[in-house]
Structure 1
Amino acid sequence: MTDTTLPNHTIADHIRRTLTLAWPVVMARMGLVGLSTVDVLVLGRAGTEELADYTLGLSIYDSLLATMAGLTMGIGVLTARSTGAGLDRVVGTIWSRGVIYGALLGCLMAALLQFAPQLFALLGQSPERAASAGSVTRVVALALPFVAIYLATASFLESLHHPMVGMFAVAVANISNLGLNVVLVFGIGPFPEMGAEGAALATVINSALLAFMLWYYTRYRLKERTRYGIGEVAVEAPSASEQRRIGYGAGLSYTFEAGAFVMMTLFVGWLGTIALAVQAVVFQYLAVTFMMALGVATATQVRVGNAWGRGDMRGMALAGWTGMGLVTVVSGMFAIVYVLFPVQALRVFTTDPVLLAAAAPVMVWMTLALIFDCNQSVMSHACRGRGDTWVPTAMHLVSYWMVMVPAGYWFGIRMEAGVSGIYQGIVLASVVSVTLMSLRFRHLTRQIA
């Protein structure tokens, strides 16, 4: 029997089921970060200026990726709940309208980002940096409709306990991305040297590849497409308004979180080119570890949603706390490596002695931040798997805009702690967030309605 129908309350079984679903999701999420990691690896060889343009140029784009993931979250939540309740036939409708909805949103966001140079200038960046980084943003924005289709479909397949498809698709995209980066960043043969804009163009091409692979598989190759009503319209499916409602709450929540991180990057931009380069290499380790946690968080959300669909209160609780425990252990292992071998880790991205000396002290604060940030992500997903919409959103508003942004500005700019101060603000906000989310999930698992 599958996890959608069989409640089992032993901790060992919850760990096994979570890991079975989580590991390919983890690999897929880390593969997504791998796309930007390759960009940083290649651009690190192209020069500090190109790396700085890329870091600032992708800051707003990355925040909109998070918003997009939130806006399409209703697909995964309702699919998990519906299959948990035995309503398999309706989920094809959930997926198809989610894909259309996401693609339209992606087109709108891409159009808005064509004004990125002006926005960066308004936010206090130098005219030269605003123009060069804004050009990067304008190119990479074209990936957003494709990313929306990928996120909608990956979430759907993961909720059906088919995460391997997304993992293999991301692996193919990573191979393609490496080749495209080398060709487009440095210029080979008939292709001109494009620098950071070349890395952005590679992102657009690979996003289109990812979207097509997952959409085609789901629409035409998924063996259970008849069982799940793929290509049909199910009148008994959860309403489109409910699907959007879940997405609105999650999208706004992710916007608060990601938007606050954009502000932190803007603060770093005020500190100069070296500071932006430090942020580029240090943030890769936070992002890679966070994506590992996001994979576990996604599996946790699915399992909480399955338990909610079958009315299993104890199963919901164990699914959530098991996910948090697993992330604590794994993020702790990564943290040990980052603290003990900071310079060795940084040398993966740069050999510049000035950059290494500036980045090494920041690694300690980044490591503290990632442990708490990973845990808050799992608890947030657990709450949303239970159908909680607006309370986690309010908690993210408090944690990131009322705590992180003021603290990052105070420590990093006013107290002149630099990039280390920025990460001190992230640590403080993540502690607040994980505390609030854990208390909220504890409350939710004590009421089944």
Structure 2
Amino acid sequence: MFTTDLKKEIRLTLKLAIPIIVGQLGVVMMAITDNIMVGRFLGKVELGAAGIANSIAYLIASLAIGGMSVVAPMVSKCAAEKDEKALKELFISTLCVAGIFCVVLSGVGVWIYSNFEIFQQSSIINQTAPSFLLYILASNIPLFLFLGLKQFADGLSKPKVAMVITAMGLFVNAFGNYVLINGAWGFPKLGFDGAAISTFLTRLVMLVLLFLYLRYSTTFLGVFRRMNLKVNFSLTKEILFRSIPGGFQFFFEIAAFSTAIIMMGWISETALAAHQIAINIASSTYMMATGFSFAGGIRVGEAWGKRSIKGIKLAGFSAYFLVFLFMSLCSVLILAFDQFLLKLYIDDLEVIKIALPLLSIAAFFQLSDGIQVVGLGVLRGLADIKLPTIITFVAYWVVALPLGYLLGFTFGFASIGIWLGLLAGLTVSAVFLYFRFRKLTKTHALRKKFGETN
């Protein structure tokens, strides 16, 4: 079963995936750090408010996070074809698309900030969360630009620099949280909003560092030498048209989980806090799984650029195999250390009692979550975006949320019912995306796709 070529592909995918995983963790770990430190220093009401604010901001950002992920396979395909001119145009067009996301999604965020009461939360959450949300929305702007640059580096199989900058950013953000929440070492005591301000400043520093590295590193001289700043509008339009359905793939899942957060707020503030802790833990493993997804997409895109049917199949299988092993391990660890993980956030028995069964369900949906996100990644490497977008919509908005509402409120299972609905949606998505990849990687289907790009 494990041929020499497959073992080699698994090693290459893993080598590429590990730094991408660290970089992806940075997207969600700052919110997790905010939630942990707010919960420990300020209490469960502030934890719930920070949780819902971070979730709304992340939901808005998901359109750009998922959308920008189409860039790395395009970069790897151009690199495999040794088309330096296309790489230069792709870089400028990627920044243009990131800028469009900044403008459009910031406008959406400001509207939500101004109409926060539409989420029907308790009065204390409505009073507390909006200011935190505004700072996190501002931090999304440097995040989108950072992700655009990161996708370009990842596509050239140089993900380590973004990994190092992200790791540094996590430490800087934790330090900033501590001093700005508590007013330590002469810094102003900003309390609740201090965590959000720290995230904004950290993401700004990360963007500047990554840009300076890409601009002046000898590694990227071939791309930046005699760079023409003229925008290729046709290429920019192509990236944008790919990134919109790509963004909605990510959005539909994140939106389902964010809507679940809102439904938790209908139950109680305690249920909201419990859900936020459990979803933070599940989100961290999910973002690590996206590392295998992006690595798989890059490897598939590179094999497509070489017109290698065997390479495409090997790259896809390797990504599926690695995420299966990783998420199986995550399931075991979550079940083994559930109480320890929960107490990292808060030492409140009511919250922990509600969160424990949710974390058990999260352990069971690890495999479905990992398999479905790798499915999206390897299909993205083949520029197959539209049908997977429909699959994710059906899985989360036709299956997960209606079933969760039915079980949670009609049948009285409350928070557990909502999470069982999410488990069902993830499983539907995983199954259909896997069979979609199987269908597209049949030899005749790939030969037809190669012919379409000639």
Fold match, TM over 0.5?
Answer: yes
Q: Which moved more, 1:215-224 or 1:53-62?
A: 215-224
Is 2:15 aligned against 1:20?
Answer: yes
Task: Using the TM superposition, give the Cα deviation of residue 222 of structure 1 relative to its aligned residue in structure 2, in angstroms.
Answer: 4.4
Instruction: State the identity as a percent.
Output: 24
In the alignment, which residue of structure 2 is the partner of 1:5? Answer: none
Q: Which moved more, 1:330-339 or 1:180-189?
A: 180-189
In the alignment, which residue of structure 1 is the partner of 2:318? Answer: 322
Is 2:145 aligned against 1:149?
Answer: yes
CA RMSD in angstroms comes to 2.1
Task: Using the TM superposition, give the Cα deviation of residue 236 of structure 1 relative to its aligned residue in structure 2, in angstroms.
Answer: 9.2
Task: Using the TM superposition, give the Cα deviation of residue 270 of structure 1 relative to its aligned residue in structure 2, in angstroms.
Answer: 0.9
Task: Using the TM superposition, give the Cα deviation of residue 101 of structure 1 relative to its aligned residue in structure 2, in angstroms.
Answer: 2.4
Is 2:35 aligned against 1:37?
Answer: no
Which of 218, 222, 225 is matched with 1:226 structurally? 222
Which of 116, 125, 128 is matched with 1:129 structurally? 125
1:345/1:189 CA distance change after superposition, 3 Å: closer
In the alignment, which residue of structure 1 is the partner of 2:177? Answer: 181
SS at match of 1:388: coil
Distance of 2:231 and 2:184 partners within structure 1: 53
In the alignment, which residue of structure 2 is the partner of 1:94? Answer: 90
Q: How does 1:67-106 map to 2 (within 5 A)?
A: 67-106=63-102
In the alignment, which residue of structure 2 is the partner of 1:363? Answer: 359
Task: Using the TM superposition, give the Cα deviation of residue 207 of structure 1 relative to its aligned residue in structure 2, in angstroms.
Answer: 1.1
1:142/1:117 CA distance change after superposition, 3 Å: closer
Equivalent residue letter for 1:351: D
Q: Is the 8 A contact 2:297 2:380 kept in 1?
A: yes
**Which structure has more helix as a fraction of its residues?**
2
Distance of 1:35 and 1:123 partners within structure 2: 24
Q: Is the 8 A contact 1:89 1:234 kept in 2?
A: no
Equivalent residue letter for 2:83: L
1:294/1:165 CA distance change after superposition, 3 Å: same
Q: Is the 8 A contact 1:142 1:204 kept in 2?
A: yes
Distance of 2:180 and 2:56 partners within structure 1: 22
In the alignment, which residue of structure 2 is the partner of 1:203? Answer: 199
Q: How does 1:387-402 map to 2 (within 5 A)?
A: 387-402=383-398
SS at match of 1:223: helix
Equivalent residue letter for 2:27: L
Q: Which moved more, 1:410-419 or 1:304-313?
A: 410-419
Distance of 1:116 and 1:166 partners within structure 2: 31
TM-score normalized by the length of structure 1: 0.93
How big is each residue's C-alpha offset from its partner over 1:172-224, in whole Å with a ceiling of 9 and x where there is no partner? 11111011101222233554443332211111111111111111211222423
In the alignment, which residue of structure 2 is the partner of 1:415? Answer: 411
Distance of 2:283 and 2:257 partners within structure 1: 12
Aligned length: 442
1:49/1:317 CA distance change after superposition, 3 Å: same
Q: Is the 8 A contact 1:412 1:419 kept in 2?
A: yes
Distance of 1:310 and 1:161 partners within structure 2: 16
SS at match of 1:86: coil
Task: Using the TM superposition, give the Cα deviation of residue 228 of structure 1 relative to its aligned residue in structure 2, in angstroms.
Answer: 6.3
Which sections of structure 1, spanning at least 5 residues, go unmatched? 1-7
Which of 412, 434, 444 is matched with 2:440 structurally? 444
Which of 285, 288, 291 is matched with 1:289 structurally? 285
In the alignment, which residue of structure 2 is the partner of 1:263? Answer: 259
Equivalent residue letter for 2:291: G
Task: Using the TM superposition, give the Cα deviation of residue 32 of structure 1 relative to its aligned residue in structure 2, in angstroms.
Answer: 3.2
Equivalent residue letter for 1:433: S
Distance of 1:405 and 1:247 partners within structure 2: 25
Distance of 2:9 and 2:90 partners within structure 1: 27
Distance of 2:222 and 2:170 partners within structure 1: 32
Is 2:406 aligned against 1:406?
Answer: no
